[in-house]
Structure 1
Amino acid sequence: MNSLIIIDALLLTFLLVIGVPVPFCFAGAVLVLMLFGDLGAGTFLIGAGYAKMSSLVIIAIPLYILAGGIMSQGGIAARLVDLADSLFGRMRGGLGIVVVITTAIFGAISGMASSAVAAIGTIMIPRMEERGYDRGYATALVSASAVLALLIPPSASMILFGWVTGTSILACFLAPVVPGLILCSLLGVWNVVLTRKMPVAVPAALPARKMVREVAVRTKKAGFGLAMPLIILGFIYGGVTTPTEAAAVAVVYAIPVSLYLYRDISWRGLGEVFWRAGQTTGVLLVLIFFAAMLARVWTLEDVPQQILDGFMSVSQNPIVLLLLANLFLMVIGMFMEDVSGILLASPLLMPVMQHAGVDPIQFAAIIATNLGMGLITPPTAPILYFAALIGKTPLAPMLKPTLVFVFLAYLPVVLLTTFVPALSLALPRWALGLP
């Protein structure tokens, strides 16, 4: 491998480790290549960056961010929590199950783990602490559950993966669904186990009639929010809209629901949501611009093939290759969030997956589960640190439950997704008629 490429990769890793914002890490790596590499004027790299930024598919991501922000500030998160609480809150460990379910649903609306942490964490962490849950545990559970946003469609991460690799976005949406449902179940089980000895206050059980009435009332209040992901996916898989157009429909739907039905947001608040969504989009576009430039140079230098050769020098056994690829993805996930990880890892590992006989649709599920696990895996764990800020708690009390979730929930799902192709391929094949 070219010595400059090795230096460049080490520089990128170093900048990520010391905490430089991710877009600037990629920008620094590109700058080194342009200054010291044999790239001529490097104008073709700028063209590569702009070509990626101008893709119509990319428009879907800021639209989903905007829709998630509107629904978060517009009261959808609170109503989802109230509905789930009426169903599960009166059992021991029930609030933990509420967290898992509501973050999965909200992740389907926002498509991003950080949005789910901010929306659900601000509501559920104080509520769980009031009922006797350890605050560090509650924060760890929110961060572990929020990663379900990568797996439950419509997922911004899967849009990016499909766009980068040229794989059907509709198939990528469906690929991680079954692994995501398995992960939901495991998180719920381990929540019950870990909260057995906590002094949790369990509300008294209601008579059946009162409980049915309460669930019905809260379902009615949360109904417009619950309908949102169903409308989005129904439009996409019904052939009514493309994923990008469905994102626009989501925004158009979210605004009147939040302003006039829920009335939890004002026009001024709506303007602030647009402003924050614009800031996030700006950062995302800078990241995509420089990541595309870096990927172009690394591809020209044949880095993906050299990674494959390096893996095969260890072993040519497909099982070993897949284990090495999983390790590579987990490390990437530990250092950067899912968007950056997908932009970097997808083109690098595609030759490895092809050699191991992995379908690109299955690779979508593999990369989603791996990067999701990396987001909460110490020592870097970007989502874990973000959740600690939201939960206003030190990292230390979060570590033990987080490690339980990583090794006993996420890791089994990663391995199942990697070595049982049917988990990620059956649903896309059934729904889309794929071979």
Structure 2
Amino acid sequence: MNPLILMDAGLLSLLLVIGVPVPFCFAGAVLLLMLFGDFGSTSFLIGAGFNKLNSIVLIAIPLYILAGGIMGSGGIATRLIDLADSMIGRLRGGLGLVLIVTAAVFGAISGMASSAVAAIGTVMIPRMVERGYDRGYAATLVAASSVLALLIPPSASMILYGWVTGTSILACFLAPIVPGLILVSLLAGWNMIMTRKMPIRQPEPAPLRQVGTEVIFRTKKAAAGLMMPLIILGFIYGGITTPTEAAAVAVVYAIPIAIYVYREMNWKDMGQVFWRAAQTSGVLMIMIFFASMLGRIWTLENVPQDILESFLQVSDNPIVLLLLANLFLMIIGMFMEDVSGILLAAPLLLPVMTQAGVDPIHFAAIIATNLGMGLITPPTAPLLYFAALIGKTSLSGMLKPALVFVLFAYLPVVLLTTFVPALSMWLPNLILGLN
């Protein structure tokens, strides 16, 4: 491999480790190659970056970010939490189950793990602490559950993966669903185990009729919010809209719900949500621009082929190749959030996956589960730090439950997803008729 490329990869790793914002890490790596590389005119790199941004698919990402922001600030998330609480909140550890279920539903609207932490964590962590849950555990569960936004469609990460690899976005949406449901079950089971010794104050048992009445009341209040994922997914898989058009429909639907139905926002508040969404989207676009330039150079320098050759030097056994790819993805996930991780890892590892006989749709689920696990894996764990900030707690109090979730919930899902392709391919084959 070109020594300059090795130096460039080292610089990128160093910048990530010391905590430089990810867009500037990519920019620094590109700048090094432009200054010291022998690529002739570098104008083609700038063109490559802008050409990547000139895609109708990418418009969906800021729209889903905006829909998630409206959902969090407009009272939609709170009503979904109240509904889930009325159904299962009286169970032992029930508020933890409420959090997990709500995160899965929220993932079907926002598509962003960080948005789920912000919207759900601000509501659920104080409520859980008030009922006797450990604050560090509550923040950890928020981080672990928010990763479901990567797995439950429509996922911004899967949009990017499909765009980068040229794979059907609809198929990519479907691939991680079954692994996501398995993860929900494992998180719920470990929540029940880990909360047994906590001094949790459970709501008083209520007659079935009273519970039913409360559920009906909460369902009516949350009905408008519950319609959002149904509309989004129904329009996409019903062939009515593309994923980008469905994102626009979600925004148009969410605005009157937040302002006129729930009356939790006014137009001034809406302007602030638009501004925050624009800031987040701007950062993502800058990151995509520089990541596209870096990827173009690395492709020209045959970096994907070099990675494949280095893996094959270890072993040409498909199982070993898959394990090496999983390790590579988990390390990337520990230093980057899912969007930048996909931009970097998907084009680099796809030749390795092809060599191992992995379908690109199956790889979509592998990359989503691996990067999701990396997001909560110490010592870096970007989502843990964000959840600690939201929950006003220290990272030390989150490490033990985080390791339990990583080792006994996420790792089994990653291995099952990797070595049982049917978990990822069943829904795409069933719904899209790929076979």
Please tell me the TM-score bracket, short chain as reference: over 0.9
| Matching residue of 2:45 | 45
* Alignment match, 1:296: 296
Instruction: For 1:241 and 1:394, locate their aligned partners in 2 and report how far apart those are by CA, in whole Å.
Output: 44
Cα distance in 1 between the residues matched to 2:71 and 2:191? 27
Superposed CA deviations along residues 292-311 of structure 1, whole A, max 9, x for unmatched, are 00000000000001100000
Q: Which residue of 2 aligns with 1:84?
A: 84
2:207 is equivalent to residue 225 of structure 1: no
Q: Distance in 1 between matches of 2:283 and 2:59?
A: 14
5+ residue gaps in structure 2? none
Say which SS state the counterpart of residue 110 (structure 1) adopts: coil
Query: Where do 1:195-206 residues align within 5 Å?
Result: 195-206=195-206
- Identify the residue that residue 189 of structure 2 maps to in structure 1: 189
Alignment of 1:139-178 (within 5 A): 139-178=139-178
The 3-state SS of whatever aligns with 1:204 is coil
Distance 1:22 1:41 in 2: 26
- For 2:262 and 2:111, the matched residues in 1 are separated by 21
What is the CA-CA distance between 1:108 and the residue it aligns to?
1.3
Paired letter, 1:13: S
Structure 1 length as normaliser, TM-score? 1.00
TM-score scaled by length of structure 2: 1.00
Query: Is 1:363 the equivalent of 2:363?
Result: yes
Cα offsets for 1:261-295 (capped at 9, x unmatched): 01101110000000000001110100000000000
> 1:275, 1:423 → 2: CA distance?
39
Matches within 5 A, 1:259-408: 259-408=259-408
1:325 maps to a residue whose letter is A
Q: Distance in 2 between matches of 1:184 and 1:99?
A: 11
Deviations 1:331-361, CA, capped at 9 Å, x for gaps:
0000000000000000000000000000000
SS of match in other structure, 1:109: coil
Structure 1: 4+ residue segments shifted above 6 A: none
Alignment correspondent of 1:12: 12
Residue 35 of structure 1 corresponds to: 35
Confirm or deny that 1:419 pairs with 2:415: no
Rounded Cα–Cα distance in structure 2 between residues aligned with 1:139 and 1:27: 32
The CA distance in 1 between the partners of 2:119 and 2:65, in whole Å, is 12
Aligned residues: 435
Deviations 1:198-232 (A, max 9, x none): 11111111101110000000011111111101101
Report the residue type matching 1:161 in the other structure: Y
Q: 1:429 maps to which residue?
A: 429
> Residue type matched to 1:330 in 2?
M
Structure 2 CA distance for aligned equivalents of residues 301 and 369 of structure 1: 29
Secondary structure of the corresponding residue to residue 147 of structure 2: helix
The CA distance in 2 between the partners of 1:225 and 1:309, in whole Å, is 50
Q: Distance in 2 between matches of 1:73 and 1:268?
A: 12
Structure 2 equivalent of residue 238 of structure 1: 238
Structure 2 counterpart of 1:317, one-letter code: N
Q: Equivalent residue for 1:248?
A: 248
User: Cα offset for 1:240?
Assistant: 0.5
Aligned to 2:62: 62
Residue 99 of structure 1: how far off its partner (Å): 0.6
SS at match of 2:109: helix
What is the match of residue 71 of structure 1? 71
1:54-108 deviation per Cα after TM superposition (whole angstroms, max 9, x unaligned):
1110000000000110111000110011001001111110000001000111111
